[in-house]
Structure 1
């Protein structure tokens, strides 16, 4: 796996980062693929950014957490749940979920959707890395998700 290129331009606890097409650490997480574009460690934990590939009907179950997340649909269709409302979003759509908002999303097109995900402050990386290590056999390992989420301050909720 390629890692982001850290450019020799550091300001306080932040570094310039360049990730070329096809580069960046990739992890299989809950049936999706997460590609790290800008890790929190390079940004003083202010935010992180990932590209998530969502096959049809794959994505995280309903959950909430204390940090903010923003999503930009690069391609494909994605079904988002925000609170009690479920809506279909497509290429070019933007979604913001403030901390504390119950939300979920999954691929909704026959070809995998791609979504940019920004979390602020940077928090999700630890969960993604541990989930990629611990949740490898479906559906058996899915029972680990609630405890793993709790460890990383994610509160998973039963689907509506």
Structure 2
């Protein structure tokens, strides 16, 4: 049996307007853990969710993400950004080198509130839940137009994702800067 070696930038890619996922090690490679490199664009918020059976690990390679992994004292349906655990835990700013481990049954979320893309290594056990999930959500995003929240909800339910707050993708609007003319 042989291992798998991938040079930088290699792996099967799924690219849509809302995500870029590169499959690094999958069930097809003999891995029990699905491993991905994910580019998280500015304005992307995965929404708080929980898995009954899956565990996840996130490692920030570049950029920054706001992350949380705890049961809040009070769940709100619209946003997780102000959630606080009974012990006082809150969402944190995760920069290069920060990681987050999420055992089954733990509400968690991440978002890119910055104006630059973030890049993370993401692992999920068991394989292939998230592999198939990423493939199907890429098809939904690729269809264009407004994403049907019901389609996302049905997809997530099939892949052990209990969505607690909405998935959102609101890319920042670029405003052209006015140029100032300098006199001679």
Which category of TM-score, normalised to the shorter sequence, fits these structures?
A: 0.7 to 0.9
Q: Which residue, 116, 119, 134 being the options, matches 1:128?
A: 134
Question: Comparing both chains, which one has the higher relative contact order based on Cα–Cα distances under 8 Å and sequence gaps of 6 or more?
Answer: 2
**In 2, distance between residues paired with 1:73 and 1:53?**
10
Q: Which runs of 5+ in 1 are unaligned?
A: 1-9
Paired with 1:63 and 1:139, the residues of 2 have a C-alpha distance of 22
Residues matched between the structures, number: 145
Cα offset, 1:24, TM superposition: 1.0
Which has the higher Rg, Structure 1 or Structure 2?
Answer: 2
For residues 139 and 111 of structure 1, do their structure 2 counterparts lie closer, same or farther at Cα, with a shift above 3 Å needed? same
Q: Which residue of 2 aligns with 1:61?
A: 47
Query: What CA RMSD, in Å, does the superposition of the two structures yield over aligned residues?
Result: 1.8
Query: Structure 1 pair 140/71, CA: closer, same or farther in 2 (3 Å)?
Result: closer
Q: Describe how 1:18-57 pairs up with structure 2 within 5 A.
A: 18-28=5-15, 31-44=18-31, 46-57=32-43
Q: Runs ≥4 in structure 1, deviation > 2 angstroms?
A: 134-143
Q: How far apart in 2 are the matches of 1:17 and 1:121? A: 18
TM-score w.r.t. the length of structure 2 is 0.72
Question: TM-score, length-normalised on structure 1?
Answer: 0.82
Structure 2, gaps ≥5 residues long? 73-89, 167-184
**Structure with greater strand percent:** 1
